[in-house]
C-alpha cells in the first residue's frame, strides 16, 4: 500500500500527460504517479509517449497496448487513484456466447480496459475525461452508452458524479467543453459523508464538482431528471434511454441529473496567450492564397451535393468571424489545428493574419512553453488538440486533497483507536 500521506496514481491513455501535470501542480507531494500508459496504435513514431517520458522522470512509463498489460500488473501497482482521458466509442454489451450471465463489450473499446483496471486494483478514486457528446450517444438511443458506463461502476461498487465543464466559464483561455467523471469507492470516508446528502445538494452545492466549479442553486430552465438503472446491464444496452444533463450523481443505480448554470469567472482572452510577434516565424503567416481559402471556409455557404446513389441535397453552413477575436477566449482546439480548416484559429496582429504557433496552443491548454518541443509542428498541434486544460485538473486535484484531509482521522481519533 502507499504511504498514508500520498496517493498512488496510474494514468491511462496519458497522451502528453495533462492529468499528471495538473495533479502535480495541485500537490506533487500527495499525488505519486507510479505508472503512465500511452500507446498510439498503427503508428511507428510514438510522439506523445516520447513527450511524456521526456517531461516526467519518476514512475514507470509504459508504451504498450493496454490490452496486453496483465491484471497482475495492476494488482501489484495497487493504485489509490486511476485517471485518464479515453475516446467516445460504442459501449454496447451482449451476453457471452455461452449464454451465461457474463457480458462482453465490443472488442477494442478502451472503457473495458478501465473496467479491468478497476476490477484488478479497486482504487478509491477514478477521474476520467471525455467529449461531452458521450452523454447523448448514440443518437439512435440517447444516453445508452453513458448508462452502460454508470451501470458498470454500480456493479463494481462505486458511486459516480459527472459534470460538463467549459474551461472558459471558469477563467481559462479556451472554450473547451468536456465531461469529467469522478467515481469513488463505496464505503470510503468520502462516500460516508456524501451518503448523508440529498442528490440535489451534491449536484448544486456540496459534491465533488460543485465545491470547485460553483453553479447557481437552481437548474437551468428547470431541467432535472431522475431514474433508476435496470439491474441487467444488457437490458440497458438493448433498450434503455435517458436524457442525461450536464451534471449528475449515480448512487446504487439511482440517477439524479440536472442542467446546471455555471457561476461564471472572467476568462483569459486570446491576446494574453500570444507570444511576441517578433518571435513568430514567417511560415505561420497566411499567404494571399491561404487568406482567400479561409475567407471561403469561414464564410456562409450553400452547396448542392449528390449522394452515391444519385440523391441531390443542399449542404448549408453559417458564417463565422473571419478572424478569432483577441479579446475573447479561444475556441475549442481540434487535432486539425494549424491546417487549412474551418476550425483552425486565425488571428490578426499588426495587420497580419496568421495561425497560432504550437507554443501558443500549449498555452491554450495551460501547458508550460515548449512542452511538446521535439516533435513536428503537425504533431504538436495534434497532441494539443487531444489534450485537456491542465488548470481544470489542478483544481480537481486540490479538491481531492481536501477530501483526503477531511477523511484522515484526527490525532484524538488515533489516540482513541490505539488506547
pLDDT digit string, tens, across residues 259-300 = 999 999 999 999 999 999 999 999 999 999 999 999 999 999
Residues facing residue 82 across a β-bridge: 10, 126
What mean pLDDT is predicted for residues 119-137? 97
What mean pLDDT is predicted for residues 366-388? 97
- Per-residue pLDDT of 217-228, as tens digits, reads 999 999 999 999
| pLDDT given at position 2 | 46
The segment(s) of the chain belonging to CATH 3.90.120.10 are: 270-386
Residues facing residue 265 across a β-bridge: 170
SS3 letters across the chain: CCCCCCEEEEEECCCCCHHHHHHHHHHCCCEEEEEEECCCCCCCCCHHHHHHHHHCCCCEEECCCHHHCCHHHHHHHCCCEEEEECCCCCCCEEECCCCCCCEEECCCCCHHHHHHHHHHHCCCEEEEEEEHHHHHCCCCCCCHHHHHHHHHHHHCCEEEEEEEEEHHHECCCECCEEEEEEEEECCCHHHHHHHCCCHHHHHHHHCHHHHHCCECCCCHHHCEEEEECCCCHHHHHHHCCCCCCCEEEEECCEEEEECCCECCECCCCHHHHCCCHHHCCHHHECCHHHHHHHHHHHCCEEEEEECCCCCEEEEEECCCCCCCCCCCCECCCCCCCCCCCCCCCEEEECCEEEECCHHHHHHHCCCCCCCCECECHHHHHHHHHHCCCHHHHHHHHHHHHHHHHHHCCCHHHHHHHHC
What mean pLDDT is predicted for residues 248-261? 98
Please name the residues in contact with 353: beta carbons below 8 A apart, sequence gap of 6 or more. 285, 286, 291, 294, 323, 346, 347
As given in the structure block, the three cell numbers for residue 340 are 487549412
What mean pLDDT is predicted for residues 124-142? 96
The domain made up of 7-265+391-411 is a member of CATH 3.40.50.150: yes
Percent with pLDDT over 70 in the chain:
95
What is the band of 206 on the pLDDT scale with cuts at 50, 70, 90?
very high
The CATH number of the structural domain formed by 270-386 is 3.90.120.10
CA distance 22 to 398: 10
415 vs 97, 391, 411, 419, CA distance in Å?
55, 39, 6, 6
Is the Cβ–Cβ distance between 377 and 338 less than 8 Å? yes
Give the end-to-end CA distance of the chain in Å, rounded to a whole number. Answer: 24
Cis, peptide link before residue 138, omega less than 30° from 0: yes
The segment(s) of the chain belonging to CATH 3.40.50.150 are: 7-265+391-411
What is the band of 216 on the pLDDT scale with cuts at 50, 70, 90?
very high
88 counts as catalytic: yes
CA distance 333 to 344: 8
Residues facing residue 348 across a β-bridge: 353
| Closest to 161 in 3D by CA, of 24, 18, 258, 27 | 258
What is the band of 413 on the pLDDT scale with cuts at 50, 70, 90?
low
Degrees, nearest 5: CA angle 400-188-262: 40
37 vs 13, 17, 49, 104, 209, CA distance in Å?
6, 10, 8, 24, 26
Axis-axis angle for helices 377-386, 47-55 (nearest 10)? 80
What is the band of 96 on the pLDDT scale with cuts at 50, 70, 90?
confident
Indicate which residue of 51, 88, 361, 383 is catalytic.
88
Please name the residues in contact with 327: beta carbons below 8 A apart, sequence gap of 6 or more. 269, 270, 271
What is the band of 140 on the pLDDT scale with cuts at 50, 70, 90?
very high
Q: Is the pLDDT at 153 greater than 80, yes or no? A: yes
Is the Cβ–Cβ distance between 144 and 138 less than 8 Å? yes
| pLDDT given at position 304 | 87
Kindly report the number of other CB atoms within 10 A of residue 337's CB atom. 24
CA distance 53 to 61: 6
Q: Which residue has the higher pLDDT, 293 or 5?
A: 293
Supply the pTM of this predicted model.
Answer: 0.94
| pLDDT given at position 419 | 54
Amino acid at each position: 500500500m502507499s504511504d498514508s500521506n500520498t496517493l498512488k496514481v496510474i494514468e491511462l491513455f496519458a497522451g502528453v500527460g495533462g492529468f499528471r501535470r495538473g495533479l502535480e501542480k495541485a500537490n506533487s507531494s500527495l499525488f505519486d504517479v507510479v505508472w503512465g500508459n500511452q500507446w498510439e496504435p498503427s503508428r511507428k513514431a510514438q510522439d506523445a509517449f516520447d513527450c511524456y517520458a521526456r517531461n516526467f522522470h519518476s514512475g514507470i512509463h509504459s508504451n504498450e497496448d493496454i490490452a496486453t498489460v496483465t491484471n497482475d500488473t495492476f494488482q501489484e501497482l495497487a493504485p489509490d487513484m486511476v485517471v485518464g482521458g479515453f475516446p467516445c466509442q460504442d459501449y454496447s454489451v451482449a451476453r457471452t456466447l455461452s449464454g451465461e450471465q457474463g457480458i462482453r463489450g465490443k472488442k477494442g473499446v478502451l472503457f473495458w480496459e478501465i473496467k479491468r483496471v478497476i476490477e484488478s486494483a479497486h482504487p478509491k478514486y477514478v477521474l476520467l475525461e471525455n467529449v461531452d457528446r458521450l452523454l447523448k450517444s448514440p443518437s439512435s438511443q440517447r444516453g445508452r452508452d453513458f448508462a452502460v458506463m454508470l451501470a458498470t461502476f454500480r456493479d463494481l461498487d462505486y458511486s459516480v458524479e459527472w459534470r460538463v465543464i467549459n474551461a472558459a466559464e471558469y477563467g481559462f483561455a479556451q472554450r473547451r467543453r468536456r465531461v469529467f467523471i469522478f467515481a469513488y469507492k463505496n464505503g470510503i470516508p468520502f462516500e460516508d459523508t456524501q451518503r448523508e446528502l440529498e442528490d440535489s445538494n451534491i449536484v448544486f452545492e456540496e459534491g465533488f464538482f460543485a465545491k470547485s466549479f460553483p453553479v447557481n442553486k437552481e437548474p437551468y430552465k428547470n431541467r432535472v431528471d431522475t431514474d433508476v438503472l435496470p439491474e441487467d446491464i444488457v437490458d440497458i444496452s438493448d433498450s434503455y434511454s435517458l436524457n442525461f444533463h450536464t451534471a449528475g450523481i449515480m448512487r446504487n443505480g439511482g440517477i439524479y441529473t440536472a442542467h446546471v448554470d455555471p457561476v461564471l469567472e472572467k476568462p483569459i482572452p486570446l491576446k494574453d496567450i500570444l507570444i511576441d510577434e517578433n518571435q513568430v516565424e514567417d511560415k505561420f503567416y497566411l499567404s494571399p492564397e491561404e487568406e482567400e481559402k479561409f475567407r471561403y471556409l469561414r464564410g456562409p455557404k450553400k452547396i448542392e451535393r449528390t449522394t452515391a446513389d444519385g440523391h441531390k441535397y443542399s449542404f448549408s453552413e453559417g458564417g463565422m468571424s473571419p478572424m478569432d477575436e483577441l479579446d475573447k477566449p479561444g475556441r475549442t482546439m481540434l487535432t486539425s489545428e494549424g491546417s487549412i480548416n474551418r476550425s483552425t484559429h486565425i488571428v490578426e496582429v499588426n495587420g497580419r493574419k496568421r495561425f497560432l504557433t504550437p507554443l501558443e496552443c500549449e498555452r491554450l491548454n495551460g501547458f508550460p512553453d515548449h512542452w511538446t518541443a521535439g516533435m513536428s509542428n503537425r504533431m504538436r498541434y495534434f497532441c494539443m488538440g487531444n489534450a485537456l486544460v491542465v488548470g481544470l485538473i489542478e483544481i480537481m486535484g486540490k479538491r481531492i486533497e481536501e477530501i483526503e484531509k477531511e477523511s484522515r482521522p484526527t490525532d484524538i481519533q488515533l489516540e482513541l483507536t490505539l488506547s
